[in-house]
């Protein structure tokens, strides 16, 4: 029987906001498997919250990282290199769009709102991988978080669907470019989860109800199920998988009617 042991492995988790965030669920299970982690927080507003969570993990470190600030991104991996030496995985779990661009019509999305959503939710993966890959001296794994709205219309998700589509293409492109370095790049397409950020999406509760009703498993998924998939992708058990979007949605994505 296989078990996943990440003892001696190091990694970076981008996007922990609170104890209900997907990023924290992933961080928790990776730490339980023995990995040592660096967690980043966006700003001082969430610093104490993330630091307290990190204190529950053996050997974890925390750092600020605004993914739109190239100097902060560079500094994160400079510190990680000094403290860890090398890393085996990077988890990208950040997304953002202005509230007004989620509440209104997609056609009314402003130029700045479109740019911000794409920059934070999709482009940010590029500089993070660019700085992480040199520390993956023995190969590594990058895991990003996406959603089914990259392929289908979810009223109220609007420009975030466009951003997730861009993120998924970025995953495939990066998987190609870093394959020769044995760095794998994949994404998890999670079903609707009760996170703080999800509450800002108009009609989110309707999304969850529809997903549970339509999915073959007849239920919504849990953060733990997403975290378990991330653990698999960060381990050697997934050594032959790259450039792939893995749905963790109770089978919702296969259904038409």
Q: Can you name the residues that pair with 146 across neighbouring β-strands?
A: 189
CA distance 234 to 217: 26
CA distance 169 to 166: 5
CA distance 133 to 91: 12
CA distance 77 to 38: 10
Supply the angle between the helices 22-32 and 223-234 in degrees, to the nearest 10.
Answer: 50
DSSP-based three-state secondary structure for 193: coil
CA distance 85 to 79: 9
Pairing, β 36-41 against β 140-146: unpaired
Nearest to 140 by CA among 232, 59, 230, 239: 239
123 is catalytic: no
Among residues 157, 176, 214, 252, the one annotated as catalytic is 157
Among residues 123, 164, 214, 252, the one annotated as catalytic is 164
Active-site annotation, residues: 157, 164
């Amino acid at each position: 029987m296989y078990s996943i042991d990440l003892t001696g492995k190091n990694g970076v988790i981008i996007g922990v906001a609170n104890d209900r965030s997907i990023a924290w669920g992933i961080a928790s299970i990776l730490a339980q498997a023995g990995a040592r982690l660096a967690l980043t927080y966006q700003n001082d507003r969430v610093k104490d919250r993330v630091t307290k969570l990190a204190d529950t993990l053996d050997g974890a470190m925390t750092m600020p990282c605004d993914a739109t600030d190239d100097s902060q991104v560079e500094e994160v991996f400079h510190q990680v290199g000094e403290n860890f030496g090398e890393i085996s995985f990077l988890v990208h779990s950040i997304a953002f769009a202005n509230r007004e661009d989620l509440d209104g019509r997609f056609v009314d999305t402003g130029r700045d709102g479109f740019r911000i959503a794409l920059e934070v939710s999709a482009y940010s993966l590029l500089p993070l991988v660019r700085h992480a890959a040199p520390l993956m001296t023995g190969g590594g794994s990058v895991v990003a978080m996406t959603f089914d709205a990259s392929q289908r219309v979810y009223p109220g998700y609007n420009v975030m669907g466009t951003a997730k589509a861009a993120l998924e293409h970025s995953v495939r492109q990066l998987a190609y470019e870093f394959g020769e370095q044995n760095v794998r790049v994949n994404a998890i397409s999670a079903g609707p989860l009760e996170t703080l950020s999800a509450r800002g999406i108009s009609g989110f509760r309707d999304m969850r109800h529809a997903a549970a009703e339509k999915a073959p498993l007849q239920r919504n998924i849990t953060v733990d199920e997403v975290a378990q998939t991330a653990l698999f992708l960060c381990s050697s058990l997934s050594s032959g998988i790259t450039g792939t979007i893995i749905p963790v949605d109770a089978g919702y994505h296969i259904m038409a009617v």
